[in-house]
Amino acid sequence: MGDVTGFLKHDRLKKENETPESRVNHFKEFAIPWSERQYKDQASRCMDCGVPFCQSGCPLGNKIPDFNDAVYRGEWKEAWQVLKSTNNFPEFTGRICPAPCEASCVLGLNSKAVNIEHIEKEISERAFLEGWEQPIEKVESSGFAVAVVGSGPAGLASAEELNKEGHKVTIYERDREAGGLLRYGIPDFKLEKRVVERRVSLMKEVGISFKTGVEIGRNISALELKEKYDSVILCTGSTVPRDLAIEGRTLDGVHYAMDFLKHQNQLLAIETQEHLAQYNTKGKRVVVIGGGDTGADCVGTSNRQGAEQVTQIELLEKPSLLRLKTNPWPEWPMILSTSTSHEEGVDRDWAILTKRFVGKKGKLTGVETIKINWVDKDQFQYEEVPGTENLIPCDMAFLAIGFSHTEHKGLVSQFGLKLDVRGNIHTNDYQTSEENVFAAGDCRRGQSLVVWAIAEGRKAANAVCKYLELNVAEV
């Protein structure tokens, strides 16, 4: 540990961002890097705490104290080597990870956690700038061919790991471009698409083949795919959105959040010029239903398009500002989070039930709501509070209430895969109920995070390597 008293000398530094008034005028990323000195000071706050809970809090097991130490010493290449040893894509996690590592940082017990995520991003950007981030050459060819279905972070991570082991990897993706939710879900102001393209280009350079615009289960059947490859990994995501089957749902102006966000991403990538009016919030009053991250992305996107007013409502009650006794460190803190999108302007309310959508001549004009009291959160029981009925006038409403599970029609049903109780693909050590077909990421664990998708992609690739060695190599 370079400076054992660093945490006593330096406070946690806030990330610097372009002001909300300025950044709302564009869709680009808006974080302003710190100075070299500031990065080193912040890295020096990492204590020699003996048991680094941050490392176990990170699904990838990133060796955080080690890269912080290297940054403090100015050894940025070493820091990058440490980071890359566990994380295929620190350029993604350094930008958009909610940082479970910081939630479990030991310093967070009685002070502010080390600013791990921001340091991670800087390490990764320097690696690209300095040319350390190069295509990872594979070892000698194994002679095996593996198909990966889906090019989100789980698919990309598994492909990179398999390729390193000498397997010939082909990624199938039904969208026009690779990246999954990194490209089509997460807005540019959180993750510019050049960052995704930069990674995909490196992967192509080492011979990973991308077949986009191809849906397995439709253009190629599941069984055809299995016959063609020695092994298959499914990384198809959790793409079935939760719906709100209430009166007025079909009114013009009520949309799934993902349809809105995908359209905006496609517009910026000049992939579409259709449905411009349908998904444009300029001058409109918007209600976002769902208080999570997807909802926040809708808030940020609506404001950038020029919405007149944005309201975000959530069924759960308002979280506390500080950890409750029942939610101690190092658990993930269930506290109020205010994202950069919220800073840009929104009215937020909690414990609100959406009763019905109202409209005129087929067009949405408002959302009728009522306040609720939670009776038993574990049993999902609540009661409506009489006299709190409200009508929020609006022209557009976005449903950002999560995703149920992966799609069952097509690929999953053609393979006849066993599902878990929530409708995700059931696996045993990443192997599905179909011999030699594996699964990773949101299609297996349900909607989650990029860092989990990368971790799962790595583990599934490892399971495939073991399988090929033990079962296919002997044949």
Near ligand FAD by CB under 6 A, which window of 27-35, 81-89, 144-152, 311-319?
144-152
Name the one residue in this structure whose structure tokens are 């990421």: 441
- Rounded to whole angstroms, the Cα distance separating 362 from 250 reads 8
* CA atoms of 288 and 90, how far apart (whole Å): 30
Q: How far apart are CA 123 and CA 208, in angstroms?
A: 25
Asked if 152 touches ligand FAD (CB under 6 A), the answer is: yes
Q: Is 108 in the site for ligand FAD (CB under 6 A)?
A: no
Cα 264 to Cα 262: distance, rounded to the nearest angstrom: 5
Of the candidate spans 6-14, 106-114, 181-189, 196-204, the one that interacts with ligand FAD by CB under 6 A turns out to be 181-189
Which residue type occupies 414? Answer: Q
Shortest CB 241 distance to ligand FAD, Å: 9
Total of chain residues touching ligand FAD, rule CB under 6 A:
38
Place of tokens 């109020």: 336
Q: Write the single-letter amino acid at 395.
A: D
Task: Tell me how far apart the alpha carbons of residues 420 and 215 are, in angstroms, rounded to a whole number.
Answer: 23
271 binds ligand FAD (CB under 6 A): no
User: Which member of 44, 104, 124, 151 binds ligand FAD (CB under 6 A)?
Assistant: 151
Is residue 112 a contact partner of residue 12, using CB atoms and an 8 Å limit? Answer: yes
Does residue 96 touch ligand FAD according to CB under 6 A?
A: yes
First to last CA, the chain: 51
**Could you tell me whether strands 381-384 and 363-376 are parallel, antiparallel, or unpaired per DSSP bridges?**
antiparallel
Q: Bridge partners of 376?
A: 381
Q: How far is the CB of 111 from ligand FAD (least distance, A)?
A: 25
Q: Report d(CA 22, CA 31) in Å as an integer.
A: 12
235 binds ligand FAD (CB under 6 A): yes
By CB under 6 A, name the one of 97, 225, 287, 288 that touches ligand FAD. Answer: 97
Residue 87 touches ligand FAD, criterion: CB under 6 A: no
Contact status: 215 vs ligand FAD (CB under 6 A): yes
Q: Is 102 a binder of ligand FAD (CB under 6 A)? A: no
Residues 375-394 close enough to bind ligand FAD by CB under 6 A: none
Residue 291 found at the interface with ligand FAD (CB under 6 A): no
Could you list the residues that contact ligand FAD (CB under 6 A)?
96-97, 149-155, 172-175, 180-181, 185-186, 190, 215-217, 235-237, 258, 261, 293-294, 297, 410-411, 441-442, 448-451, 453
